[in-house]
Amino acid sequence: MKKTPLSDLLPHRIAIALLNSALLACALSPVYSASAAESISCTTAVSEANKALHQLGVKPIQHEKELVQLLKILNRDDVLPSSYVTTAQAKEAGWSGKDNSSLWNSWSLNKKSIGGDSLENKALPEKYRWYSADIEAVRGNRSPKRLAYSPETQTRYLTTDLYHSWVKISPCE
């Protein structure tokens, strides 16, 4: 049976990011094993993902602590915090849905972000149902930064260029 190279299965940038994440994990741990990967801190996982984004030549996230908190909430509850609303909920509350429109223009959406919408992207593993959450929205305006998560796995993916490049965020505590 002929093996298909990883680069044929995933877009080139994702393959590089996954490899870089694995290399960083190995470099940080004297003995790399599945159990060591499972016990990585979310702070370390986010830092590694940010380094991988930088190596891809795309903007890293600026507020790592906020992403760490979001990952911990998802790990604990399997759902986004109440500060997130779906696109449909935001539109029901008066948001226009336009790119240049702030969610915060609607009083009931003040301090909210978009999250919880289903996400289909060929770069993500097909065996899970994926959802997206906005990261680093500015004054209610959406940014190109998104977290892809699934309640079926603690592996998450991060993009800062609106779904063009992805890096894996290792399962973390």
pLDDT value of position 11? 52
Q: Would you list the domain boundaries of the chain?
A: 42-169
Q: How far, in Å, CA of 129 to CA of 112, rounded?
A: 23
Query: For the chain, first and last CA: distance in Å?
Result: 39
Model confidence at 39, in pLDDT bands (50, 70, 90)?
A: confident
pTM of the model: 0.78
Name the residue with higher pLDDT: 158 or 14.
Answer: 158
pLDDT value of position 13? 52
Query: Any bridge partners for residue 158, and if so which?
Result: 147, 167
Q: What is the pLDDT of residues 84-138, one digit of tens each?
A: 999 999 999 999 999 889 999 999 999 999 999 999 999 999 999 999 999 999 9
CATH of 42-169, picked from 3.40.640.10, 3.10.105.10, 2.60.120.280, 3.10.450.30, is 3.10.450.30
Percentage of the chain lying above the pLDDT 90 cut: 76
